[in-house]
Structure 1
Amino acid sequence: MSVKERDPLTGHQTTGHEWNGITELNTRVPRAVWFFIIVTHIWALVYWVLMPAWPLVNSYTRGLLGVDQQERVERQVGAANAARADWTTPLATLDAAAIRDDPALMAHVQRTAPALFGDNCAACHGTDAAGGPGFPSLVDDAWLWGGDAETIMETLRVGINSPHPDSRYAQMMAFGQSGILTRPEIRTVVDYVQSLSGLETEADADRLARGATLFEENCASCHGENAMGNQDLGAPDLTDAHWIYGGDDASMFETINAGRQGWMPAWEDRLTVADRMMLTLYVQDLAKEADNAD
């Protein structure tokens, strides 16, 4: 078949290819498509010249217009911070009690803090701040490191088990995996701790006595002889009904056997002092509201 042969129906030349009686046409590309291709290529060339476009080894092509979106955002953020400096400056310099005594400042806190919490804290502690498995609740009175404003501010600043040089450190030993306690001994300790917090257990007096001895030998150094925790070490109270990882048999066995090590980021480089103060006041108010509801 000749390439110059024309299809009798459309009048277009054919390519010379035929499959099962179907002839391939040598149809021209529509002019609108060529126009679109040419215009977009010209636009791309112009954009590459005028705007930041191509990555280099340690930088990028800046473009003739010198547009820098990062610099623009930084200017906008700086302008926004300057516009609200009249109330963020006191938040960064006054203590919590003085701020609470100022209704105008507290109005800003109540308006701004929920969004701060939602953007930075809710992913772990929940939108209701009630926590979840592995993340403590912020609406109860079971504070690991203390619930006063100064302590909360410091925890926000340095984090827990974070890379910050001043980070708070807390770690539950893996008593089973490290061979310190056998599996039956771990189950005995579980029964004893559950009895301290008021959970139901079928352990008899002798088993609970053995659990008390094991607790004194292995757990009291962190959680205290009365098992009420130690906020200097971030060791939780084991006599209340608040559990970070769960108070059931399986969860407690896993905690004692494999250990636990929670983590919280340090917010010093990500949130301003005023932001951290607003979050501190906010979570304190959440805890008070929960107490009042009870």
Structure 2
Amino acid sequence: MDRKKFLQSSLLTGATALTGASATFGSIKSNMNSQNEAADFNLNYAPHFGMFRHHAGDDLIDQLKFMSEAGFNGLEDNGLMGRSPEMQEKIGQQLAKSGMEMGVFVIDKGGNGANSFTAGNEEYTQIFLDACKEAVEVAKRVNATWMTVVPGNFTRHLPIDIQTGNVIETLRRAAEIFEPHDLVMVLEPLSDTPDLFLRTSTQTHMICKAVDSPSCKILYDVYHLQKNEGNLITNIDLCWDEIAYFQQGDNPGRNEPGTGEINFQNVFGHIYEKGYRGIMGMEHGNSMDGKEGEQALINAYKEADSFM
């Protein structure tokens, strides 16, 4: 998976670190308000760290404050498990202060090319299950519900049905860890390489049915599935009962809505009309650099969200 710093020196002045941080955010807020009124979105779009670094600087908490001031009510952080427990707690505290919701983070062990679920290797499975136990504690620090899981690559010497059975068995064991905590692993079909086992929404739907757990659902990433299968609205409808989370990026380019071929007003409007009010993860880059590019991104979401 393709998973995506400078603070102006004038913002760093202050008599103490605390007052300096306060002055910094005061400047950020003023700068944002002078260019852009906070958006009132119909859906809950969630940026990731780095997406607004030219406005907010490198500090993660200042970035969260900027996201909130701009009208975003969610956050994604694929690398959350790699951050210190202290930083995880700070992120969780700021999310609560800002009334923001934590979206997905990636369970970062297991399910990669080196130890795919498809192999049915107990050593690989234990690496993943240990990471699931760690993820439970991480989720508590940020009040998260969803965690991204990718089963990994094909094991080419095994029949496809045996590989599928191995994936299902591994996920059932992970679900047993998450169910007591009301946590949900969301399986993401990807387009990054043809070696990846999980490719389509309907394949993922079948696996979720077989796992048969409220803790195993689909992450429907509009970018990846436009590349792998297209027919977005029809497949969303077909897989609706197992979809728990959405991400998006336009194709080609994997940038904000309006930079590629996808009609996001139609797609977002359809998801809204079906009653989804969960997070829509902004799993993409910015098509332009700098503050101008960040403002263009905000404007793009205003446009794509104007389906009412």
Give the structure-2-normalised TM-score: 0.25
* Structure with greater strand share of residues: 2
Give the structure with higher Rg (CA). 1
